[in-house]
Amino acid sequence: MTTEIIRVPDIGMDSATCIEVSVKAGDVIGVDDTILVLESDKASMDVPSPVAGKIVQLKIQEGDSVTEGDEMIYIELASDASAPSSSANTPAAAPAVAAAPVAVAPQANAETSSVTTVLVPDIGMDSANIIEIAVQVGDVIAEEDTIVILESDKASMDVPAPQGGEVIAISVQVGDTVSEGSILLELKTAGSAPASVAATNSVAEPAAAPAAPAGSAIETVTVPDIGMDSASVIEIAIQVGDQIALDDTLVVLESDKASMDVPSPISGEVVSITVKVGDTVAQGTQLIEVKTNAAAPSAPVVAAPSRAEVKTPKAEAPAPVIPVPASAPVASGKAVHAGPAVRKLAREFGVDLGAVPGTGPRGRVIKDDVAGWVKKRLQEPQQITAGAGLPTVPDQDFARFGTVEIKEMSRIQQLTAVNMVRNALVIPHVTQFDEADVTDTEAFRQSLKGEMEKRGVKISPLAFIVKACAAAMIEFPKFNVSLMADGKHMVHKQYVNIGIAVDTPNGLIVPVIKDADKKSIWQIAEEIIDFAKRGRDGKVKSVEMQGGCFTVSSLGALGGTAFTPIVNAPEVAILGVSKNAIKPHWNGTEFVPRNFTPLSMSYDHRAINGADAAKFTAFIALVLSDVRRLVL
């Protein structure tokens, strides 16, 4: 596919105002389909498309003043479209004779007034339903005031008044199906009906299309390999029209455990953005289109597949419905003035246009008004539901008791909360408590200080604990399983991956040390240090937090004597580690001080019985008391 830039042709006047945009991004149009309607103080005209294809981006909006050569649309040419001529000129549209927006049939003429029948104009479809009537009998309306709003299964549109006057009769009702030529209403107008209402306006013959810049091309940028199946778009760092450089951040992606920037593989002008905040994307999903300065790309865009490889999703995910708080204004019986695109946007977000103050001409609601209203509602705190069928804790007015500040939870915090509730409710937890005499192990670890400094790697007690847990998983394979959703089978894993809980500014993450049973304590210590550093910076990849068999949550540096960790499903057990304590220990002849590490192991009682849990915990304690057992 090739993307072409369609420009304003010779319109026979210095400039004109766009009074109607007949297409939208994503529309598939044919040759001579109307793109937009232009109007000056002397004439109006349709501007048809010189080519067939799919519209990528609109460069002109209603109300814009345009001149010959201005960019109108970017269009992705259809595969069967005619090939462009050998010249490098970008095709320009040729203006057609414009009909008035609404067809009218004069009924009677008088010296002072006349009655005009207003009909449904060419709406570009066989029929449509009336979803709103914006006028009443007796209303005095002006030219271009909305009369009715039509909607089909593919589009909605305002039908404007072709002239001003008093509404004396309405021939349709909400819900009626109408087509081109159907009678809508009758208007009493002052003076004789102008012939131009029902007639077409003549315009000058189109001149040759202006040449486009010879050194430009449209490139598609897609999601590269992000190391995870999918992620959500949490921020879009650019806008249409921005000039971007190589490696500038385009979007920020986030999964349930990590976030990352997606840099630009090329430089140029952003032509279109095909994703929005909240979308779920995967490798190969189209992000943006960029107009580059190169005449033609010499090689495919790095980290983005070619256009042919980009698959357009069949349906977009439904947009979130924004609840209207009780304090928000309620729509009145007064007609809301808004265009089809604005009304569609409002429906997608579940916004009542009657509650949105309009800032456009004559109080018309524009897209920015809807976007601002939605943004304001999203910034208000929302009720977080704990789970299906569960009661929620009602909000309170804490400001009555003192100064408060409301902050939004990070995405990781929100997802962690949901997972914790699910795991706590679904898994029958039992916690086995024990303690390990680590006196000799700590003495051995301290003796390695010189070698640690030489290697530049600090071995923490957690490295020994991870290695001990890996050995226990080999000794007790019943713990290396996951229950299947059918409740009849379980998966027995032939690998040992140990997750370690890491506290970060954005919330709790659990990176996984793969094949921990096959790695030395030095290697495990290096990975722990690396995960801790990158976790604080938010740079741990999602793929590095998948595939765990068992999790260790260590609070040893913080304090406490015991706690009940929640199993990290689909795993079936988790070990909690508390702060070491020096205790008197009877050696058979006397009490001696020994260093003990408290262990708290929670397990899923559906998969593990109590006896096995006690043996498993005792084995870990035994290994930690004498690490020489790791080589047996």
CATH code, domain carrying 69: 2.40.50.100
Residue among 18, 86, 89 nearest 47 (CA): 18
Please determine, for residue 186, whether its predicted confidence score (pLDDT) is greater than 90: no
pLDDT one-digit tens code per residue, 433-445: 999 999 999 999 9
User: Same structural domain for residues 348 and 488?
Assistant: no
Same domain, residue pair 465 and 569 = yes
The answer to the question of residue 195 being in a domain is: no
Joined together, the tokens standing for residue 297 give: 């790309």
Whether the CB-CB separation of 492 and 572 falls below 8 Å is answered with: no
Question: What is the distance between the alpha carbons of residues 308 and 281, in angstroms, rounded to a whole number?
Answer: 18
Q: State which of 377, 406, 441 marks the end of a domain.
A: 377
Lowest mean pLDDT among 330-344, 428-442, 515-529: 330-344
Tell whether 21 and 156 lie within a shared domain: no
Model confidence at 416: pLDDT above 90: no
- Same domain as 153, residue 13: no
Asked whether residue 52 is assigned to any structural domain, the reply reads: yes
> Are both 432 and 567 inside the same structural domain?
yes
Q: In terms of pLDDT, which residue wins out, 481 or 148? A: 481
Hey, what are 35's tokens?
């793109």
pLDDT in tens, 275-307: 998 899 988 899 999 888 654 444 435 343 333
Domain termination residue (choose one: 122, 150, 177): 177
Q: Each residue of 42-94: pLDDT tens digit?
A: 566 778 888 888 888 888 888 888 888 888 888 888 754 443 433 334 445 54
Same structural domain for residues 364 and 468?
no
Residue 440 is encoded by which pair of tokens?
Answer: 């000799």
> 87: buried, middle or exposed (CB in 10 Å: 19+, 13-18, 0-12)?
exposed
Domain-located, residue 103: no
| 347, 434: one domain | no
Q: Is 118 part of a structural domain of the chain?
A: no
Q: What is the CATH number of the domain that holds 545?
A: 3.30.559.10
Give me the number of domains the chain comprises.
4
Q: Residue 502's closest CA among 564, 431, 412?
A: 412
Last residue of a domain, one of 177, 207, 232: 177
Residues 485 and 627 in one domain: yes
Cα separation, 205 vs 199, whole angstroms = 18
Please indicate whether residue 33 or residue 501 has the higher confidence score (pLDDT): 501
Residues 6+ apart with CB under 8 A from 388: none
CA distance 291 to 216: 6
pLDDT > 70? residue 613: yes
Q: Which of 337, 429, 585, 605 is catalytic?
A: 605
Q: What is the pLDDT of residue 190?
A: 65
Q: Which domain holds residue 539?
A: 428-631
Handedness of CA 338, 339, 340, 342 (dihedral sign): negative
Question: Residue 217 in contact with residue 4, Cβ under 8 Å?
Answer: no
Q: Quick one: 37 and 135 in the same domain?
A: no
Domain-embedded: residue 583: yes
φ and ψ of 500, to 5 deg: -125, 125
In the beta sheet, which residues pair with residue 260?
253
Classify residue 153 by its DSSP letter.
S
Residue 413 has pLDDT above 60, yes or no: yes
- Asked if the structure places residue 489 within a domain, the reply is yes
Residue with tokens 């419905």: 321
Residue pair 548/480 in contact by the 8 Å Cβ criterion: no
Tell me, yes or no, whether 447 lies in a domain: yes
pLDDT (tens digit, 9 = 90+) per residue, 3-49?
Answer: 788 888 887 778 888 888 888 888 888 888 888 888 776 566 778 88
486 lies in the same domain as 607? yes
For residue range 201-260, what is the model confidence (pLDDT) as tens digits? Answer: 333 333 333 333 445 688 899 988 877 778 888 888 898 888 898 888 888 887 765 667
With b for 16 or more beta-carbon neighbours within 10 A and e for fewer, the 280-291 pattern comes to ebebebbbbbbb
Mark whether 351 and 436 lie in a shared domain.
no
- Confidence at residue 339, expressed as pLDDT on a 0 to 100 scale: 65
Query: Between β-strands 573-577 and 550-554, what pairing exists: parallel, antiparallel or unpaired?
Result: parallel
Contacts of 364 (CB under 8 A, 6+ apart): 337, 338, 339, 358
585 is catalytic: no
Residues 611 and 487 grouped into a single domain: yes
Determine the pLDDT at residue 301. 54
Domain presence at residue 299: no
